Amino acid sequence: MGSFLWKSRSIGLWNRSRGENMLDSGAPFYDTYQTSDGQFMAVGAIEPQFYKQLLKAFLEPRFH
């Protein structure tokens, strides 16, 4: 994981401020969410078909 971040910075994929890059909640399809037990989990629905399913799931009444 660390080498990915360093390489991404060197080629300009991870050179913005925190929260503005693709995998640090700067994209709508990748974010962290608080769970019902007070912990956190990251969800990265990078591919369009998975993002569509994520949005569909979040519209279910159990998430409101």
pLDDT of res. 38: 96
Taking CA atoms, 35 is separated from 22, 30, 39, 60, in Å, by 22, 16, 5, 16
What pLDDT is attached to residue 12? 76
Helix, strand or coil, per DSSP, at residue 54: helix
pLDDT at 63: 64
**pLDDT of amino acid 64:** 60
- Across the chain, which has 64 residues, the per-10-residue mean pLDDT values are 76 79 78 91 89 87 69
Is the overall model pTM greater than 0.75, yes or no? no
- Domain ranges for the chain: 2-63
SS3 9: helix
